[in-house]
Amino acid sequence: MKIKFLGGCNEVGRSAVLVDDKIIIDYGMRPSNPPEIPLRSESISPDSVIVSHAHLDHSGMVPSLMSQAKPPEVYMTPVTRDLTRLLGRDTIKVGRDQGFVFFGEEDIMKLDEYTHTIAYGERRTLNGSDYELELHNAGHIPGSSLVHLRKESEDMSLLYTGDIKTGPTRLMESASPADFPASDILFIESTYYGRDHRDRVELEREFIDSIKETLNSGGNAIVPCFAVGRTQEVVMILHSYGLTPYVDGMGLSVFSIFKNHPSSLKDAEALNNAFGDAQFVNSKRRKKAISEPSVIVTTAGMLNGGPVLYYLKKIHEDPKSKVLLTGYQIEGTNGRMLVEEGCVEVDGAVVKVNAGVEYYDFSAHAGDSELKKIVSRFCGNGTEVVFMVHGDHTEEFAAWTRDKYGCEAIAPNNGEEFIIE
């Protein structure tokens, strides 16, 4: 099997792996301004594309592959298909504002036409080839999948974790490593290598206490969230503690898609109830939402655009207000600048933020011990080659795996190619 890494190595963003020059697993973008995209040469024209899940850093550039003379067949879960379509259209819109064009509406239509949806555990032969595909629940966001690909002629298989969560969240049933199929090659995400997550219940309580304190002092609590997954998780948390948030941005459209796929959720009723009680904001109601003490859940999670910028402009000088970050802030984003320098860019100007800034790790990724358990399970089950991707500390993770299990563990670089026999 020939493996080439087109992105997502030693970084979080633009994940993309090319298998045997004809299959692409994930084709994402790094949501910086302008977005960074995977390596691409004209010679790459995949027959098949597999999408692990709908976050932009895994799916964002998939529509661009549809412009080749013969578009590839695309495989993903039904929820991932619906979300990829929604995010694709949003990317076209954002591109119009920011001055980039990666694909157009005709590519979104082709993506619909060439997509084969696949359920967890269902086996599919890829596009008349000798590769057999199976997806399994990755526990990360609705529709997220581990990709298991088996090449019959070489009797060789790979398992690609995509983004994975084996611990509990309100939104998702966790992934279950005991049910993962064995494989010769493992690709594992490394986002939280070296860091474990805090106890979820304790974390939720601190988050809620901080919001209540902000409301009591007359401030606004701004909770920037990714539209896909985090917004819904946070609205469920707030609802369970009796708080009614305003919800602004694309998180509402995403909720409508989740609602159409209840079996992809841990508790569809709890999600429906939480959104049933929330108040939705569009550009006309923003002024009202911010004019009273309020909690506002809004996109974008890394402050790189979207309605959150409106709220930041309003509250950045107010020490009674707070920005409560809920996810990893990748390099090059406005959110990372806020964490590291206490400033954000709004309307082209960098402003100091006097409001409080707090970080709550509601991550939907496996923490350090969960990642190590996954590696341990695979290495103890015949896996000979492990690639560490999607993280800032992949080399350390690979070294740990080599020391501990003696298997071939590699932290690849973007553009690097490997032949596995």
- Contact residues for Zn ion, defined by CB under 5 A: 55, 163
Nearer to Zn ion, 54 or 315 (CB): 54
Nearer to Zn ion, 164 or 237 (CB): 164
CB of 214 to Zn ion, least distance (A): 29
Nearer to Zn ion, 163 or 361 (CB): 163
Nearer to Zn ion, 157 or 363 (CB): 363
Nearer to Zn ion, 77 or 157 (CB): 77
Nearer to Zn ion, 330 or 379 (CB): 330
CB of 131 to Zn ion, least distance (A): 24
SS (H, E, C) the chain: CEEEEEECCCCCCCCEEEECCCEEEEECCECCCCCECCCCCCCCCCCEEECCCCCHHHHCCHHHHHHCCCCCEEEECHHHHHHHHHHHHHHHHHHHHHCCCCCCHHHHHHHHHHEEECCCCCEEECCCCCEEEEEEECCCCCCCEEEEEEEHHHCEEEEECCCCCCCCCCCCCCCCHHHCCCCCEEEEECCECCCCCCCHHHHHHHHHHHHHHHHHCCCEEEEECCCCCHHHHHHHHHHHCCCCCEEECCHHHHHHHHHCCHHHCCCHHHHHHHHHHCEEECCCCHHHHHCCCEEEEECCCCCCCCCHHHHHHHHCCCCCCEEEECCCCCCCCHHHHHHHHCEEEECCEEEECCCEEEECCCCCCCEHHHHHHHHHHHHCCCCCEEEEECCCCHHHHHHHHHHHHCCEEECCCCCCEEECC
Nearer to Zn ion, 264 or 294 (CB): 264
